[in-house]
Amino acid sequence: RKEVEQDPGPFNVPEGATVAFNCTYSNSASQSFFWYRQDCRKEPKLLMSVYSSGNEDGRFTAQLNRASQYISLLIRDSKLSDSATYLCVVNMVGSQGNLIFGKGTKLSVKP
Amino acid sequence: DTGVSQNPRHKITKRGQNVTFRCDPISEHNRLYWYRQTLGQGPEFLTYFQNEAQLEKSRLLSDRFSAERPKGSFSTLEIQRTEQGDSAMYLCASSVTPTGDLRYFGPGTRLTVL
């Protein structure tokens, strides 16, 4: 089993749609969880951290289910500018500050 | 611009040649990381430094790869005897310890091995 697995995608949605990304991780000892966004041929950028209680940042909501080792990201009212690849990321257990990235799910928002 | 910078941005080389990349982190950041990203994959950890000390290396970092951070500021990543499988984006990131996330990635060096 891969350490971080994401929906294969791609997701093609119209503007204004709600889209959900799912991710599972294999190491139950993982403590830190993040979503990054990566535009084509650019570096990844931190979108948001994911907390056990769930957290929201504008149109973006992230949730964590430790029992199921599952992380999600919900984007509401999607914009053309949300088109990117979304990477699910967890910390590398036993390593200080190093991260394991999923393959990413590509999102295309169409007019 | 006070972000992480990487040079060169693009490098095309022939198989068997040696290449060296440079990363300049944000000046007050004492941690520096190297990741590699191949097409269709997420970034994969290669190694990291705290100041000048290389504290961890991935098994992806074969003996053809070497990384240095001699004065705890900029870092270099050298690949000897390049292979076509080395073609990837090489990303550098920096942080102030301790931190759980990596907010500051450089733009990457895209390596193409012909």
Q: What is the pLDDT of residues B71-110, one digit of tens each?
A: 889 999 999 999 999 999 999 999 887 667 788 999 999 9
- Quote the CA–CA distance of B23 and B59 in Å, as a whole number: 21
Nearest-by-Cβ selection for B45 from A42, A43, A98: A98
- Quote the CA–CA distance of A39 and B25 in Å, as a whole number: 21
Handedness of CA B71, B74, B80, B85 (dihedral sign): positive
β-pair partners for B32: B49, B94
On chain A, the residues whose CB falls within 8 A of the CB of B95 are 97
B102 to chain A, any CB pair closer than 8 A? The answer is yes
On chain B, the residues whose CB falls within 8 A of the CB of A34 are 100-101
Q: pLDDT at residue B1 above 60? A: no
A99 to chain B, any CB pair closer than 8 A? The answer is yes
Answer with the residue of higher pLDDT: A14 or A91.
Answer: A14
Q: List the one residue out of B34, B36, B55, B32 whose CA is nearest residue B44.
A: B36
A4 to chain B, any CB pair closer than 8 A? The answer is yes
Q: pLDDT at residue A97 above 70? A: no
On chain A, the residues whose CB falls within 8 A of the CB of B55 are 96
CA distances from A3 to A24, A36, A92, B30 (A): 8, 16, 9, 28
Q: pLDDT at residue A65 above 60? A: yes
Q: How many residues in chain B?
A: 114
B25 to chain A, any CB pair closer than 8 A? The answer is no
Nearest-by-CA chain A residue for B103: A46
Inter-residue contact A103 to B41 (CB < 8 Å): yes
On chain B, the residues whose CB falls within 8 A of the CB of A92 are 45
A91 to chain B, any CB pair closer than 8 A? The answer is yes
β-pair partners for A61: A56, A74
Give me the pLDDT at residue B19, please.
98
- Quote the CA–CA distance of B49 and B56 in Å, as a whole number: 7
Give me the pLDDT at residue B99, please.
64
Give me the pLDDT at residue B18, please.
98
- Quote the CA–CA distance of B12 and B86 in Å, as a whole number: 11
Burial class (CB in 10 A: 0-12, 13-18, 19+), B108: buried
Give me the pLDDT at residue A93, please.
76
